[in-house]
Amino acid sequence: MRSCCISLLGSTGSIGRQSLEVIQACGMKVGALTANSNVARMEEQARQFQPKLAVMMDEQAAADLKVRLADTPVRVAGGLEGLLEAAELPQADTVITAVVGMVGLRPTMAAIREGKRIALANKETLVCAGQLVTEEARDFGAKILPVDSEHSALFQSLQGCKDRGEVKRLILTCSGGPFFGKTRKELEGMTREDALQHPNWSMGAKITVDSATLMNKGLEFIEAMHLYQMPPEKISIVVHRESIIHSLVEYCDNAMIAQMGTPDMRLPIQYALTWPERVVGPATPLDLCSCGPLTFAQPDTEAFQCLALALAAAKTGGTAGAILNGANEAAVALFLEGKIGFLDIADRVRRAMEQVKVIQDPSMTQVLEADAAAREAVLSA
């Protein structure tokens, strides 16, 4: 069933803004919008899309927004309570989770318990608590549809596959980021500005840094394990600089089915909202004759140690994902504040993974404790 009314968590961000373009182009309604502190952009969006509810995580920003929207029928709420209310909004059949970081976990769980369709961009949620989230979705009959381009490509390449036993391997493509081909030595001096230059995609700051360290691909590896119930040995990563093939499924007969397109997030966002239908939308078409040769290479886990750490966490399971993610969020924040160097990100994540004990089959409380302990380990290093 195609989405009609959407609750959009993280509407002022990169995915959030592109989601609104898709929603508008496809004639869908907006039930709720949420952001952290960008009041000016939220006011603009609320005036244009007239949601029932507009939420600012930051309470001061919520108070400010309330004044700005006093002449409209839009209700304003603040804090985590507001975010949860947006996730549970009765009018919305679909929730797009486009907030950044594991702050998305509780609202995602709340939306799942209401049986909503989840268009999931917020990969950190699955990395931290993939097992709990997917079990809850199964129990409450909530469908999770991927927004991440690689996972959408896998989802599209799996359409028509009735028996997952036929799948030999999921292959995630990786652009290689702005530092592709650099040695560890060369990576040492890379600055915030260098890391924020992504060759193919324009995204929020945190995921752009994750793409530069290749942690993003590691997080996506764990995301794929949970979304498609695949063991780590049945997932591989290939560097594909052009970002034209968004990922592939290799079947037991050695057929490979891939999804191709321009690097435009509006297509995976739209498919998550319209599946199982396809409709005309705003994504840019691909001109095959001008996209040049397509290349493939092995990722360099020696230079890009964040990827090696994530693959180790994927194998360990349990709270290892929450520890990896919490440590990475804290370390990337320090890097963006100019407090640590580029290679320190991996060093701090490694230290947290060594210090914090992994628990298998964790409860939600144990996931949250693992996340907090990992952040603490990074900050006290």
Q: Which is nearer to Mg ion, 43 or 210 (CB)?
A: 210
Of 130-169, which residues contact ligand NDP (CB under 6 A)? 148
Binding part of the chain for ligand NDP, among 11-19, 191-199, 286-294, 349-357 by CB under 6 A, reads 11-19
257 phi and psi angles, rounded to 5 deg: -110, 125
What is the smallest separation between the CB atom of 150 and Mg ion, expressed in angstroms? 5
DSSP designation for 57: S
- Residue 247's SS3 state is strand
* Residue matched to tokens 């409380």: 365
Q: Look at the block and give the residue holding tokens 């990074």.
A: 378
* Angle in degrees, 0-180, between the axes of helices 14-25 and 39-49, rounded to the nearest 10: 10
Residue 41: how many other CB atoms lie within 10 Å? 16
x/- map, 19-38, ligand NDP, by CB under 6 A: ----------------xxxx
Q: How far is the CB of 17 from ligand NDP (least distance, A)?
A: 8
Distances (CA, A) of 380 to 21, 49, 294, 309, 358: 42, 44, 44, 20, 19
Q: Which of 265, 331, 343, 370 binds ligand NDP (CB under 6 A)?
A: 265
Asked if 148 is part of the footprint of Mg ion (rule: CB under 5 A), the reply reads: yes
- Looking at 30, 100, 111, 215, which residue binds ligand NDP (CB under 6 A)? 100
Nearer to Mg ion, 38 or 243 (CB): 243
Residue nearest to Mg ion (CB): 148
Quick one: which segment of 147-155, 304-312, 332-340, 369-377 binds Mg ion (CB under 5 A)? 147-155
Catalog residues that contact Mg ion under the rule CB under 5 A: 148-150
| Interacting residues with ligand NDP (CB under 6 A) | 10-16, 35-38, 57, 98-100, 103, 121-124, 148, 201, 203-204, 207, 265
